[in-house]
Amino acid sequence: MSGKNVRTIRVGSRRSQLALVQTHLAIDMLRAKNNLLEFEVVKIATVGDKILDVALSKIGDKSLFTKELERALEDNEVDFVVHSLKDVPTSMPEGLVLGCVFDRTSPEDVVLMSPKNRGRKLRDLPEGSVVGTSALRRSATLKRLYPHLNFISIRGNLNTRLNKLDLESETKTKEDDSAVHTVRYDAIVLAKAGIERLGWADRIDEVLDNCFHAVSQGALACECRKNDTFILSVLADLHNESACLSAIAERSLMQHLDGGCSTPIGVRHQLIPSVGHPHHLVLEANVLSVDGAQYVEASVSAEFPHLIPRGSKRPLSVCENDVEEIHSLLPKQPRISGSDPRAGHPPTSEITHLNLSCSEEELQSADDPSAVFMGVHVSPICSVARLRMARSKRVGRILAEKLLASGASRILEEIRSQTLTASKTNVATSSVTK
């Protein structure tokens, strides 16, 4: 590289082993594409990394693992940060965007058993066995499937949780704000993607592939300043359209349901490719009560425009008139169909299907190079790719509306009421103890 200008890019990361592995994954992919870039990793502690004795659903902040990273971006201390996309709230600070979504693998949850239970499945555990999970969604889902088990919160990074699982003696845990309990875990439930990225696949005893997973689980994303055109152009080389489209649809669903850590919302998707790029998306979702007793599920499928795939040799800059060309060939009205035979999972209710007809909002977004889709802003990118992002966003909104109309609104209102009551009780208890 003698005689060439080498630029050093500062990359923000959480301090955990998994976060650093994911950050270096992004860096390695970028280095492979541009040998004129050097990278400096800036380790940053987040609120979620510091508060380890309270369940995520009880902390109440949707930015638990992102706020400090975003502050570093705003203060120009780093050039971009790497996130597990499931940790990123659907509403982001003004001026910050997700410059790419990449490497979405294995969105399923998995079960890791304690040493004495290796090789077992959840259904095989004795009644009253203790299963640790940090997610209210997992707890609600598994309570419904395995009512004989005792699901409690477990916090800490993956290394910490695995150590707690492998302890032969009891460990202390805080289930509420008033008492500390001791517990011995028989199993824990974690995201498969994180376990695989850390090289711990041999510890997996069961893959919960029939369960719905968290919104954006398994996907990685890089956040940067929207006005930093150089960093945006660098991150565009990492972008994976298939990973992005499923994530945008799921994040749109979450936003329209006003969901977060305290809301048991699960998703499952199937993206069926055609000629090398996304063509057909099936998105399923459910909303559960905290105890898993109440349950609503719905599905939406959609066709995507399939002109100018992301890997086309045609320059991106000449794609900008293609939306109008597509629109002139498409029917104006969307149609609703019944169960879609291409869906990988049998529908529990009639699937709402969107064909290639485009709404005016989708077309306007496709024509706007500054458009942001659930936080995602990839630049440079062609207008047809933006049209597909707009379609994904619409899929999530329609599915949310369908769930709300099917009874999810009542479940969500009960959860919000319970959360508010618990918050007031905790405040009152805290005042008395002082």
Residue 255 confidence (pLDDT): 96
Residue 421 confidence (pLDDT): 65
Residue 156 confidence (pLDDT): 85
Mean pLDDT of the residues in the chain: 83
* For the chain, percent of residues with pLDDT exceeding 90: 66
Q: What is the tens place of the pLDDT at every residue in 326-357?
A: 333 333 333 323 333 333 333 445 789 988 78
Residue 344 confidence (pLDDT): 38
Distances (CA, A) of 421 to 86, 174, 425, 428: 27, 19, 6, 11
pLDDT > 60? residue 232: yes
- Pick 211 or 330 by higher pLDDT: 211
- How far is Cα 242 from Cα 239, in angstroms, rounded to an integer? 9
Angle at 86 between CA 356 and CA 373, to 5 degrees: 40
> What does the pLDDT average to over 187-200?
97
Residue 5 confidence (pLDDT): 80
Residue 336 confidence (pLDDT): 29
Q: What is the tens place of the pLDDT at every residue in 234-285?
A: 999 999 999 999 999 999 999 999 877 678 999 999 988 766 566 789 999 9
Q: What is the tens place of the pLDDT at every residue in 64-123?
A: 779 999 999 999 999 999 999 999 999 999 999 999 999 999 999 999 999 999 999 999
Residue 171 confidence (pLDDT): 59
pTM for the whole thing? Answer: 0.84
Q: What is the tens place of the pLDDT at every residue in 361-420?
A: 998 999 999 999 999 999 999 999 999 999 999 999 999 999 999 999 999 999 988 877
Domains parsed from the chain with CATH numbers:
1-104+220-238 (3.40.190.10), 109-207 (3.40.190.10), 240-429 (3.30.160.40)
Residue 273 confidence (pLDDT): 76
Residue 272 confidence (pLDDT): 85
Phi first, then psi, for residue 185 (nearest 5°) are -80, 135
Cite the active site residues. 87
Q: What is the tens place of the pLDDT at every residue in 147-159?
A: 999 999 997 889 9
Query: What one-letter code names the amino acid at 39?
Result: F
